[in-house]
Copies of this chain bind each other. A is one copy, B any other.
Amino acid sequence: MSDILVVGSVALDSVKTTAGKSVEALGGSATYFALSASYFSSVALVGVVGEDFPREHRRTLERRRVDLEGLKAAKGKTFRWSGKYGKDAAVAETLATHLNVFKEFKPVLSEAQRKAPVVFLANIDPELQAEVLAQMKGPALVACDTMNYWIESKPAAIKKLLAKVDIFFSNDQEAMRLTGAPNALQAAEVLADWGPSVVVIKKGEHGALMKVGSKFFVFPAFPLARIKDPTGAGDTFAGGFLGYLASSASYKDVAHLKRAMAYGTTMASFNVQDFSTKNIEDLERDVIDERFHDLAERMMVPRADEFLKARRAVAA
């Protein structure tokens, strides 16, 4: 049995950015999540691809020991997305979406999959997310993400789902749209009222914030002057976050949740440095930990106590 079950999309992405382009490269929310989480915990992926899904992409996931028992190969073509980013890497312009086999995606979990202690419902139809969750046998931790398309078309279903979710991941624009709140912090307050004990609002290059109980924790992004492709950064963040948390001693300990934020930030920073999943396919845990501590150092504020004490002593 795997530590984490992820249900979501596996796709072929064609992306143009100011740094270049990729054509029919490995993508999809479950893919980014699984690769990222695999450095911390064991992951089982539930999804669907078409007959045309390249063998090498399957191998990429297998090399990271992602359990692909639940990756169904259906008759037809794999889900394809193409988009482009301008100077503002925060905004993707969708050029084309071909759902293909994903249109008929109705996941039925195996006995082993139902018993996973941690489940991540990546951004698919919220009614489908709820159906998957209903199949689970008392998971210890339920997390989910969503996207603008579902916020526009099925907001009530999202709200209903959130009542059964422990951790909700959202980007700031989506959180504001879903709640009608004027800023990310107020949006997080509303979302927490709907159910999740932990709300994580991702802000791309501006970092992320986390609401736990009544308290907000704030985290900058890892500073990168140049990025190649922001696709998948949010799911990679969630993968680092939940991968770490699932491996920790407690899902509710604030110290672990803060480290989870920093690991999410760290994994997302690797992801955006190359196209598709290239830069998160072959990392080493030591390299990840090095950047984790580098990030912690760049944002760490030395306590002012000793200095203040010394200053008062001089003044006295």
**Which A residues fall within an 8 A CB radius of B?**
18, 87, 182-186, 189, 203, 205-207, 209, 215-226, 247-248, 255-256, 258-259, 261-262, 289, 292-293, 295-296, 298-304, 307-308, 311
Q: Which residues of B contact A218 (CB under 8 A)?
A: 207, 220-223, 298-299
Are A302 and B255 also in contact (CB < 8 A) when A206-B207, A220-B207 are?
yes
What are 30 sample pairs from A and B whose C-beta atoms fall under 8 A apart? A18-B182, A87-B182, A183-B205, A185-B223, A185-B224, A186-B225, A189-B225, A203-B206, A206-B206, A206-B207, A207-B207, A207-B218, A209-B220, A215-B298, A216-B225, A216-B298, A218-B220, A218-B221, A220-B299, A248-B307, A255-B302, A259-B301, A261-B301, A289-B304, A292-B301, A295-B301, A296-B303, A299-B299, A299-B301, A300-B300
B304 touching A259, Cβ below 8 Å: yes
A311 touching B247, Cβ below 8 Å: yes
Q: Which residues of B contact A258 (CB under 8 A)?
A: 300-302
Q: How far is the CB of A85 from chain B (nearest CB, A)?
A: 11
User: How many identical chains are in the complex?
Assistant: 2
A219 touching B299, Cβ below 8 Å: yes
Closest 7 CB pairs of A and B: A218-B220, A216-B223, A206-B206, A185-B225, A296-B301, A262-B301, A255-B302
Inter-chain CA distance A203–B223, complex, in Å, is: 14
A86, closest chain B residue (CB): B182
Q: Which residues of B contact A300 (CB under 8 A)?
A: 258, 300-301
Q: Which residues of B contact A206 (CB under 8 A)?
A: 203, 206-207
Supplied contacts A219-B220, A247-B311, A289-B304, 19 more A-B pairs, CB within 8 Å: A87-B182, A183-B225, A185-B223, A203-B206, A207-B207, A209-B223, A216-B225, A218-B223, A218-B298, A219-B301, A220-B299, A248-B307, A255-B302, A256-B307, A258-B302, A259-B302, A292-B301, A293-B303, A300-B300
Contact of A293 among B215, B225, B304 (CB under 8 A): B304
Inter-chain CA distance A298–B307, complex, in Å, is: 21
Most chain B CB within 10 A, of A255, A262, A296, A304, is at: A304
Contact of A299 among B87, B183, B217, B247 (CB under 8 A): B217
Inter-chain CA distance A302–B249, complex, in Å, is: 15
A263, closest chain B residue (CB): B304
Q: How far is the CB of A110 from chain B (nearest CB, A)?
A: 27
